[in-house]
Amino acid sequence: MAAKRSGFMLAEVLVGCVIICAMLAIAFHGSFSRSWSTVEHEFEQCFLSARFQSSLTGHPFEVCTENNAIYVNRVKIALPPNWENYWSPRIEVRAHAITGGTLAFFNTQTKARKRLVFQVGGGTYVWR
């Protein structure tokens, strides 16, 4: 005698969820682009984390740009679409001092420019 089941089995529900999630991922892929506010926020988090680690260990770390990304202590922060770096000195950051310098970026479509300026000494930076 076969028992009648009511409802769905767990495996069926999981398969349905996977299909729905895959469809949503395909539908929204590419609609969320990176913005400068995201880059600035990620940079601030990475910079503060690396600065704290540097103060504990006494080892300096570097901030530089390569291949359309900013690197803070070897952590990659991707630039927004159509943005490239055009001036990228290596900024050495120690526990209580920074070598001054400017990382410069430009947009290949709009020709807009953005700079990340590090001030000598106290360890501050500003986005311009």
Please give the Cα distance from 98 to 121 (Å, whole number).
5
**Contact by Cβ (8 Å): 50, 59:** no
Q: Which of 119, 81, 67, 78 is nearest to 128 (CA)?
A: 119
Give the separation between CA 64 and CA 20, rounded to whole angstroms. Answer: 41
Residue 4 confidence (pLDDT) above 50 = yes
Q: What is the pLDDT of residue 41?
A: 93
Beta bridge partners of 71: 64, 76
Q: What is the pLDDT of residues 42-82, one digit of tens each?
A: 999 999 999 889 888 989 999 989 888 999 988 999 999 88
- The per-residue pLDDT for 1 is 54
| Residue 123 scores a pLDDT above 80 | no
pLDDT at 17 over 70: no
What is residue 42's predicted lDDT score, i.e. its pLDDT? 93
**Hey, where are the domains in the chain?**
36-127
Cα separation, 115 vs 128, in Å, equals 5
Contacts (Cβ under 8 Å, ≥6 apart) of 122: 97, 98
For residue 105, the number of C-alpha atoms closer than 13 Å in the C-beta half-sphere is 24
Q: How far apart are the first and last CA of the chain?
A: 76
Label residue 31 by pLDDT band (50, 70, 90). very low
d(CA 126, CA 116): 6
